[in-house]
Amino acid sequence: MKKFALIILVLLACSGGPGPKDAVFEFIDAVKTSDSLRVIQLLDIDAYVKSLMVEMSPEDSARALTEHRAMTIQSLLGDGNVRRRWMSSLIVVNKEMVAGDSAEVEVSFVDQRAGHQLYTIMLLSKQPDKTWKITYFR
C-alpha cells in the first residue's frame, strides 16, 4: 500500500500537478459538501457568469455580474438548486480534453428516480499557478 501511494505521489509530481479532471472531482465534492471556500477557489465566478450573459451596456453588465455572482454561489451551497440536483444524481466524470490552457471534461448527471441523464461538458482554464478553474458548468 505504501508503494502504491508513493507511485501516485511521484506521478502527480511529474505531471505538473492535478489535471482538469481532478479539479472537476474536487469541485463536485466541494458543492456536495457545501464547502464555500473550495467552491470559490475552484470556480472562476466572473468567467462563468460572463459566459451566461447576453450583450448589454457596461453599467448593466456590471450590475448583472454582481447579482449573478451571488445567485450562482447560493445555488451551489446549502439548499441551492444546483447542489440539490447534484446531491440526488449519480455523477459520472468521463474523459478530459486539454488544449493548451483550456480544457473540457465530460460529465454526466444521472437522475435514477426520474430515469434521465444530463450529459454536459465542464470548461476549465489553467491558472498562472498551474491549477485549473471551472469556467463553465451546467
Q: Which residues pair with 43 in a beta bridge?
A: 134
Task: Note whether 110 and 94 are within 8 A (CB).
Answer: no
Helices and strands in the chain, H and E counts: 6, 4
HSE value, Cβ hemisphere, 13 Å, CA-based, for 10: 6
pLDDT by position in tens, the chain (length 138): 444 333 444 444 445 679 999 999 999 999 999 999 999 999 999 999 888 876 666 676 777 778 889 999 999 999 999 999 999 999 999 999 999 999 999 999 999 888 899 999 999 999 999 999 999 998
Prediction pTM value:
0.81
Q: Domains in the chain, please, with CATH?
A: 20-136 (3.10.450.50)
Locus of grid cell 444546483:
82
- pLDDT at position 55: 63
| Best CA proximity match to 80, nearest among 133, 31, 29 | 31
